[in-house]
Structure 1
Amino acid sequence: MKYQSHEIRKLCIAAASSRGASQEAAASLADATIHAQEACKPALGIRHFFDYLNAMEGERLDGAARPSITRPASAVFVADAGGGIPHVAFDRGFDDLVGAAREFGVSVFSQRNSYTCGALGYFAERVAARGLVCIATTNSSAHMAAGGSIGAVFGTNPLAFAVPRSPGKRPFVFDQASSQTALVNVREAARENAAIPDGWAVDSSGRPTSNAEEALLGALLPFGGYKGANIAMMVELLSTMAGASWSLDAGSFDTGRRSPAVGMFLVALNPGLFDRGYIARAERQLDRLRNEYRMSLPGDSRKQFSPGTCEVAPADFAKLQEFAAIAAASALHAAAGQRRLG
């Protein structure tokens, strides 16, 4: 069913607050969730939002964390998420990051000690919406085998890239895992009791499998064999630059009480300092590839992005309402306590 985005956002903020998130963290997380849901990516939207709530309840995510940002050089921003979500520090440093890129031609954001970031493309797209080219990486706890390894050694380690387009148009963005598919897609298949394609994963014994449940107990595989593994390695080395955990050492995002403590790395480039006509030229090239050469570009096959409205499954909406009701009851209880003290 379709709902107004602002209604879902309010429910998300209330739900996150019910699990101890600060208002700042709850709003940041809600904004990222709504963006994914509007883009028709429920596995990275509302359903992944529930992972954050469960992680806060399980104490592997600190919803009230106080991140810090240092600036060791004019165009370098180093953040410590403090065991919280990566969005808060990024939001705090965003305007300065953009300003530095405009002034110096490039700026870099590197973060450690955070929970997983959800849709990495969300961060890259926000930068590109300010007229900057963006490359972003992040690592996660180990779920992918590589190079004949014994078990998983890397996370799905995605790479996102975004280029601005002319005013009024959404940036061109792609966000892809280094694995054949993102872990959330395998989880969705397992939830729906559906088979996964051959070549996506191996089971716990290292045998190829099309069973999603077996894949979750085994390991994902990189795209393109050793080439995907090399990309995963590059992503790992960039994402951990500020001191984040290697994927092998990261805590699980869905079990236990230890934070994944992973990292994110982002570079923003000002194309106007290289060529004032770059954005228009890049847009013409993308249109040329699509229209003249019939090339399918990233995002073409997805449902239309629908700002202002969210398609939310009834069960997910009901679950959001339950969490929001808990928050409301807690607020009433706290207010009653204050009155008694008064």
Structure 2
Amino acid sequence: MTDDVTLSPTEAMDLARTALMRVGMAEAAAAALARATLDAEMAGKRPVGFLHLTDYLRSLVDGRITARAEPLITSPVPAIMKCNAMGGVAQHGFSLAHEELAAKARTFGIAVFSLHNSYTTGELGWYAARLAEEGLVALAATNGPALMAGAGGRQPVYCTNPLAFAAPLEDGRLLLVDQASSMAAFVDIREAAARGETIPDGWALDQDGEPTIDPFAAMQGALLAYGSTRGANIALMVEVLAAGLTGANWSLDAPDFQAGEATPGIGLFVLALSPQLFADDFPARLARQVERLSGEFGVHIPGLRRTERQRQAESAGIVLPRQLFDSISSFRRN
């Protein structure tokens, strides 16, 4: 549309970083969050790109994010890194630990990063992808405020509790799986509400625990797990990894990420593996298998186009709706 705003990646990064700093975020944290936002946008993950940035900006203003938080990182044993985000953002804590985490994984074959006391993590695949870009295999899990019903239940007890998995191919591409445990991401429900559209049957329950196609009723009720009990069981496993092992808030105890003054206090669990210590020539073997699956059997391999999309965005620019651009810019002027 002619009313859209096209920015270069550098301009888009500056838009995000400046807006975050204008509402009080420390420069290093703003840079980390701006990078994660830009990476998600360039990879085609728009709901967790600049659209989600407005949630961070409002939460900084309202006090749900501690603007000047400085993460505390400790290492109780060599292969484990623990981070207290101190009410800040997970992207900052992970960025501070990223280089050392990768080095530990290469040294020991395995390393774990756990984080708690954070605002929502944004694009979960971003954490796994950054490690895969350095030749590591990574698994990430995170939770958040309760939005989804558990197996047999009708009230929200888990967040959408996503899992992300990434592995490197020899040509620089990545296998990247990033999916919620719910039938749909909460941002998809919210977007449908904003557009005045209904949602598919089977996505959610209303406040009374009855099926609904009304996104507003869904946001007052509970999302449903994909695959029914199987998806809910995965959400429970994610809850144990992301909240139980990290010491973060259980989803039931996490404050709303859109309202109030308290941080959701959620958790992030990241496992990094050095494939070279497990199997010879892993990136080449995986690349051949991916080609076999996609070429001979028509299997969709998630994540392969991430690098291509990012390169396209480098040349074509970042296109933001005028309303979204103006909303973010208004924070820059405050």
TM-score, normalised via structure 1 length: 0.92
1:142–1:155 contact (8 Å) kept in structure 2? yes
Counterpart in 2 of 1:304?
309
Distance in 1 (CA, whole Å) between partners of 2:83 and 2:143 is 15
Q: Is 1:89 equivalent to 2:97 in the alignment?
A: no
Counterpart in 2 of 1:321?
329
Letter in 1 for 2:144: S
1:165–1:283 contact (8 Å) kept in structure 2? yes
Aligned counterpart in structure 1 of residue 170 of structure 2, from 166, 182, 193: 166
Counterpart in 1 of 2:111?
107
Aligned counterpart in structure 2 of residue 131 of structure 1, from 132, 135, 152: 135
Letter in 1 for 2:237: M
- Per-residue CA distance 1:264-323 (angstroms, 9 max, x = gap): 000000000111211111111111111111112224799934342322112111222222
1:166–1:283 contact (8 Å) kept in structure 2? yes
Distance in 1 (CA, whole Å) between partners of 2:273 and 2:291 is 22
Counterpart in 1 of 2:78?
74
Distance in 2 (CA, whole Å) between partners of 1:183 and 1:95 is 31
Secondary structure of the equivalent of 2:166?
A: strand
Distance in 2 (CA, whole Å) between partners of 1:324 and 1:244 is 32
- Per-residue CA distance 1:16-43 (angstroms, 9 max, x = gap): 0121100011111100110111112221
Unaligned runs of 5+ in 2: none
Q: Is 1:281 equivalent to 2:289 in the alignment?
A: no
Aligned counterpart in structure 2 of residue 229 of structure 1, from 229, 232, 237: 232
Distance in 1 (CA, whole Å) between partners of 2:96 and 2:301 is 32
User: Pairwise mapping of residues 246-265 of structure 1 onto structure 2 (< 5 A)?
Assistant: 246-265=250-269
Letter in 1 for 2:49: G
Q: Is 1:9 equivalent to 2:13 in the alignment?
A: yes
Distance in 2 (CA, whole Å) between partners of 1:100 and 1:295 is 34
Counterpart in 1 of 2:150?
146
2:176–2:304 contact (8 Å) kept in structure 1? no
1:38–1:311 contact (8 Å) kept in structure 2? no
Letter in 2 for 1:216: M
Q: Please give the root-mean-square deviation of Cα atoms over the aligned residues, in Å.
A: 1.4
Q: More displaced, 316-325 or 264-273?
A: 316-325
Counterpart in 2 of 1:205?
208
Query: Deviation of residue 171 (structure 1)?
Result: 1.5
Counterpart in 2 of 1:183?
186
Secondary structure of the equivalent of 1:166?
A: coil
In our comparison, the structure showing a higher alpha carbon Rg is 1
Letter in 1 for 2:65: L
Distance in 1 (CA, whole Å) between partners of 2:16 and 2:300 is 34
Counterpart in 2 of 1:220?
223
Q: More displaced, 305-314 or 213-222?
A: 305-314
Counterpart in 2 of 1:337?
none
1:238–1:265 contact (8 Å) kept in structure 2? yes
Unaligned runs of 5+ in 1: 327-342
Identity of aligned residues (%): 41
1:158–1:175 contact (8 Å) kept in structure 2? yes
Q: Is 1:192 equivalent to 2:195 in the alignment?
A: yes
1:37–1:311 contact (8 Å) kept in structure 2? no
Counterpart in 2 of 1:56?
60
Secondary structure of the equivalent of 1:20?
A: coil
Secondary structure of the equivalent of 1:228?
A: helix
Secondary structure of the equivalent of 1:311?
A: strand
Counterpart in 2 of 1:340?
none
